[in-house]
Chain A
């Protein structure tokens, strides 16, 4: 019985993968055309690179969220986790333990990844071993990570103290490789690795299996708790990776760092075609969703169409329209 269900899942996703998977990209293209119409500066290469670069944080985090959501979980703590990881990373950079700047930054990066993975592990273990709804667990850790950050910052912001270190790390956000900004390369690497794990490994297939039907997955011998926990660890690693790109931009973690990122990440995942109830995941769609979100904000500032008070409403409407375009394609 379990085999047939798994087979059906596979067949179903293969059957309609074309239109559903293409849909977010169509929405992106429509939005792109709209942006070009509103302001010719929108298609300027500098502007487009800015937008794609800026979307890096949400895109990278959302790749992790795709794993969590596909496995039937949810992580609301990613925003405050970003702030917490950024805070600990900067505090470590400020200790000046290692004399060479490059060595220091490399060590801080490893530390950030470790902290991120541990935060994710905590989320995963509490959810699976404690048998608590992930919504509640991550709502709790969201408060914990945020408060810890504010505590570490003593209510203010945590900034990289050494100007040399800041100068050495800055290029990670601002420089480019053959004209492609580093954060964009990081998005691509994370997405390729994520897509490989998700579509090409046994673990990836287990993630969708657990998300589509937990009982069936358990009877087919999948260790549900292990798979679920690992998705949260992947989420933590993605958050840490986003932080590695975030810290060099402004060189500080502030109380507003990562505020509402969890909602943006979840929105990107859903716009990308991943089912919020689990069982279906689309890594590239997620990246596309993150781009759509960032592009909407950019078009709003570049246009003179609406008063600054109404921007939120228009953004909301555009996201809903993007989903409707997707749905209508998906139904065909």
Chain B
């Protein structure tokens, strides 16, 4: 994975150098993403806008249109509208893979370069480029950390997201990591990736179990609610909480050495920017980019936290 990151750095340098030569080439890229319906997608919107600014400044002939949609059906409509405007490439984070596979296929059939982000399509031959975080790895890294910190033995509660593929993959990675150890998962409930719901579920866990060693809630938004519930209950048995994604407040806590949030597992909304960079590079710099680009689920610790800290991001 490190190699890929190094590669990206080299690529970014190369694209700056070559930008001057490719100045007048007219390219239209459409970016279709979900509306900011929770913290993480809010981050996606922020980073899409940020990448639009930097890329348009770097490549004068480039025009990027960012369009957000509140649900799968309206995203399908948005795809049609965007295509009708005449685009060279589509970068999309689909609401739902099954629902949007066919609309994206229609875009592809018009000869448009398709980059899919985060959620793989049901038919993977459609996409030219696939950029994603690593969901099973996010679960595995969290599981490995909890196993190591608790010395292979302890009681853990899990708060899940929503019943969709991403959540299943994360759970599976987590379960594989703790398999064979004496880590006992007391309970799993859905917290809908919402602070308020995670707060409620955690309050109920605290009422139900007298001893909990650690909490895995796979998402930093939910970690906020979990911490608040623990603080209210004045419980000292919980040693730490492991979230995920890389919300700035949580990364700050990791950097500050907060004992309740010792680590975070990266699943960056900024992956949309990675996808946009690569797609623009394909047109302006003639860099080969087709294929799968899977970002690491990096374990963020006190030592590397500053690398992932975006103080201006909403997420």
Q: Identify the A interface with B (CB < 8 A).
A: 39, 41-42, 44, 46-47, 50, 54, 150, 153-157, 159, 174, 249-250, 252, 254-257, 259, 297-298, 301-302, 308-309, 311
Do A302 and B208 touch across chains, with their CB atoms under 8 A apart? yes
Among B92-100, B108-116, B136-144, B196-204, the stretch in contact with A: B196-204
Q: Is B200 in contact with A154, judged by CB distance below 8 angstroms? A: no
Docked-complex contact A157 and B42, CB < 8 angstroms: yes
CA distance A174 to B231 in the complex (A): 10
Q: A297-B200, A298-B204, A301-B187 are in contact. List 17 more A-B contacts (CB 8 A).
A: A41-B208, A46-B207, A54-B203, A150-B42, A155-B36, A155-B41, A155-B46, A157-B221, A252-B224, A254-B194, A255-B36, A255-B41, A256-B221, A257-B196, A301-B201, A302-B208, A308-B188
Are B163's CB and A309's CB within 8 A?
yes
B21 sits at the interface (CB 8 A): no
Residues of B within 8 A of A249 (CB): 199, 228
**How many angstroms between the C-alpha atoms of A254 and B225 in the bound complex?**
12
A contact residues around B228 at 8 Å (CB): 249-250
- Interfacial residues of chain B within 36-79, with CB under 8 A of chain A in the complex: 36-39, 41-43, 45-46
- Assess the B232–A254 pair: CB atoms within 8 A: no
Interface flag for B284 (CB, 8 Å): no
Task: Give A60 Cβ to nearest chain B Cβ, in Å.
Answer: 15
Chain A residues, Cβ within 8 Å of B249: 159
Partner pick for B39 among A41, A47, A156, A297, CB 8 A cutoff: A156
By secondary structure, the B interface counts as: helix
| Residues of chain A with a CB closer than 8 A to B199's CB | 249-250
Cβ contacts B186-225/A at 8 Å (1 or 0 each): 0111101111110111011101100000000000010011
Tell me if A311 and B190 are in contact (CB < 8 A).
Answer: yes
The one of A154, A259, A301, A308 that contacts B194, using a Cβ cutoff of 8 Å = A259
**Contact present for B194 and A153 (CB under 8 Å):** no
Q: Closest residue of chain B to A50, judged by CB?
A: B203
For residue B160, CB closer than 8 A to chain A, the reply is: yes
C-alpha spacing A308/B188, complex, angstroms? 7
What residues of chain B have their CB less than 8 Å away from a CB belonging to chain A? 35-39, 41-43, 45-46, 160, 163, 187-190, 192-197, 199-201, 203-205, 207-208, 221, 224-225, 228, 232-233, 249, 313-315
Q: How far is the CA of A157 from the CA of B187 in the complex (A)?
A: 29
Chain A residues in 8 Å Cβ range of B314: 153-157
Given contacts A50-B203, A302-B208, contact A255 B38 (CB under 8 A): yes
Q: Can you identify 23 A-B contacts, CB atoms within 8 angstroms? A: A39-B208, A46-B207, A50-B204, A153-B36, A155-B46, A155-B315, A156-B36, A156-B42, A250-B196, A250-B199, A250-B228, A254-B39, A254-B221, A255-B36, A255-B37, A256-B193, A256-B195, A298-B200, A298-B204, A301-B189, A301-B201, A301-B205, A302-B204
- Cβ B207 vs Cβ A256 within 8 A: no
Given A174-B232, A308-B190; A156-B315 close (CB under 8 Å): yes
CB distance from A311 to the nearest CB of B (A): 7
Give the shortest distance, in Å, between B230 (CB) and chain A (any CB): 12
**Nearest chain B residue, comparing its CB with the CB of A157:** B39
In the complex the two chains form, what is the Cα distance from A86 to B189 in whole Å? 27
Which of B35, B37, B208, B232 sits near A301, CB closer than 8 Å? Answer: B208
B261 → chain A closest CB, angstroms: 16
Residues of B within 8 A of A42 (CB): 207
- List of A residues within 8 angstroms of B36 by Cβ: 150, 153, 155-156, 255
Measured in the bound complex, the distance between the Cα atoms of B35 and A155 in whole Å is 8
A261 to B160, CA, bound (A): 21
